[in-house]
Amino acid sequence: MQWRGGDKTRSLGRSAFAHDFHATHDSHQAMTDKQGALVRLLPVKAAAPSLKDNTADLDRLKRALRPQLADRPLLLPTTRLAHLARNFRRHDFAGVAVGLELDHGLELIDFLAAPPAMVVGMALDLGTTHLEASLVELRSGRILARAHCENPQIVHGADILSRIHFADQNGGLPTLQQEIITAINGLAVDLTTQAATPVAEILVLTVAGNTTMTHFLLGLSPHHICREPYIPLANHLDPLPAAALGLQLHPAARVWVLPNIGSYFGGDLIAGIVASGLDEQEETAMLIDVGTNAEVILGNRDWLIACAGAAGPALEGGVARMGMRAGPGAIEHVEINPADGTIAYTTIANQPPKGICGSGVIDLVAGLYLARLIDIRGKFRPRAMGDRLVQGEDGPAFVVATAAQGAEGRPVLLGQVDLDALMRSKAAMYAILTTLTNQVGINFEQLQHIYVAGAFGRHIAPRQAIVLGMLPDLPLATYIPIGNSSLAGAEKVLLEPNAWQRCSRAARRITYVELNVNQEFMLRFSGSRFIPHTDHNLFPSVPFFEEA
């Protein structure tokens, strides 16, 4: 991961990065068959009917396809019978049959006169906060368009718990479902408008989302997801007819929803596993995804172990009073001169600072530590701070940007309360990582790669996270940002023949470690509430300052 301070707009171009990742780390085109993994185009040339061969049209079509299918069952959806028969005859019994690859057979959904110019699928990262989607040409693997939108459910609460409670109200669940469906329909129109193709050409949709969002999409009650013993209604689902959900794509399109493992471990992470290739590599690697929770997966082609914990809010910008998500005006990078304590920062889109995002907070706190403006417990050292320390609403605060510098004449502050929240988050993160590796008896040094997903992976500087003791003290090359791995995984399911099976397999074989009831985690959490750690031998590259 390299410092990319020059690119101020990269948070708006998130998906371009995911695309890079595809191009660099994969070889889609070589691995896919001609129509992607889920769609199959079958050339057909049938004899015309005659008195001597009076096989019915649809039976004639099936007969013509049979040699290409071995013993695989051929399924015709009821709602497509008339259309298939009409097109088959209209095109003089020759053309191209379009099928969807289901577990139990090939489902015939269309009949065309000739191979289409484009075979189109849509991939979706169904996030709690944002939805991000791409339109993919399935033969070439080419990304035709990208689009994103805010999750419209945010009006019922930014956090997932509020929405789960809202779902329990009369009419709540259908409302939440409809909001998602409307948003996806909007994205589909946006994508196909960009690509100048009809929305009805989207034959397949792959969705990677967390367990609760998946339940909302399907209209399944999430009531028990947040109640012990935290059981989802469904984890593994066969591809669903898009129309049955109210999605306006191809009339017989289907939706592949990536499987969940449990209430707190959803298809978005399964997507990450498949996108990173964690489940196929011989060497053991780790995947870190920080959203509302921090979710961590460790493993290789033989085994996978995972856990999730509440390490996220401060890192995502949700807790710090001045915190904000990465967006225009967010301070995303901070440098403090250790010699004189002077501060320099950059903001996204070069706008006057409005707040500070997760990567900015990490930079800032690491800088404060190295400049000895905070102590190893993460507390301000008033004597060293001079006029940078002010009294804010919730107690002492550090002035990151002055009122003169800030947007609308307001300063950007980091309070002691924010600092405390970050210390808890960073401690939780390191405790999660050590608890997980300890479960399987390996050391961090044995990991060749640590994949860091999402906005967190894209924006933070691993060096500063190491200084804080949030990430293990490993060579920086170990850390590989993989962008929106949820979307990348959904795209992989569209394109790579075995990706869907890999998702199911990964979901079934992961061992999930529940941290809420884990004593070891609590002990390790306490030991991690210092910078960089109680045991500073764990972080040999980080300066350790004896407290005065």
* Binding footprint of a copy of itself on the chain (CB under 8 A): 49-51, 54-59, 62, 73, 75-76, 78-79, 81-82, 85-86, 89, 103-105, 218-221, 224, 228-238, 240-241, 244-245, 260, 262-263, 512, 514, 517
Cβ partners under 8 Å of residue 272, min gap 6 = 278, 287, 289, 297, 451, 453, 482, 485, 486, 488, 489
Least separation in angstroms between residue 87's CB and a copy of itself is 11
Asked if residues 111 and 57 have their Cβ atoms less than 8 Å apart, the reply is no
Instruction: Find residue 34's DSSP bridge partners.
Output: 36
Strands 395-401 and 412-415: antiparallel
Separation CA 463–CA 456 (nearest Å): 14
Residue 211 Cβ vs a copy of itself, minimum distance, rounded to whole Å: 8
**Closest CB to a copy of itself among 70 and 117?**
70
Closer to a copy of itself by Cβ: residue 77 or 327: 77
Shortest reach from residue 220's CB to a copy of itself, in Å: 5
Q: Work out the burial of residue 59: count CB atoms within 10 Å of its CB; fewer than 13 is exposed, 13-18 middle, 19 or more buried.
A: exposed
Q: Nearest distance from residue 264's CB to a copy of itself, in Å?
A: 10
H or E segment at 112? Answer: strand 105-112
In 150-309, where does DSSP find H-type helix?
160-168, 172-194, 211-218, 242-245, 267-276
Please say which residue, 59 or 159, places its beta carbon nearer to a copy of itself: 59
- DSSP string spanning 389-438? EEEETTEEEEEEE-TTTSGGG--EEEEHHHHHHHHHHHHHHHHHHHHHHH
Taking the complex as a whole, how short is the minimal distance between the CB of residue 103 and a copy of itself, in angstroms? 7
Sign for the CA dihedral angle at 470, 471, 475, 478 comes to: negative
Question: Which residues is 119 bridged to in the sheet?
Answer: none
Residue whose entry in the numeric block shows the structure tokens 């998906």:
15
Cβ at position 386, least distance to a copy of itself in Å: 51
Pick between residue 57 and residue 375 the one whose CB is nearest to a copy of itself. 57
Q: Name the residue nearer to a copy of itself (CB basis): 246 or 396.
A: 246
Q: Which is nearer to a copy of itself, 19 or 250 (CB)?
A: 250
Task: Considering the complex, state which of residue 113 and residue 234 has its C-beta at the smaller distance from a copy of itself.
Answer: 234
Nearer to a copy of itself, 25 or 505 (CB): 505
Cα 225 to Cα 209: distance, rounded to the nearest angstrom: 14
To a copy of itself, the closest distance from the beta carbon of 345 in angstroms equals 44
Write down the least CB distance from residue 393 to a copy of itself, Å: 40
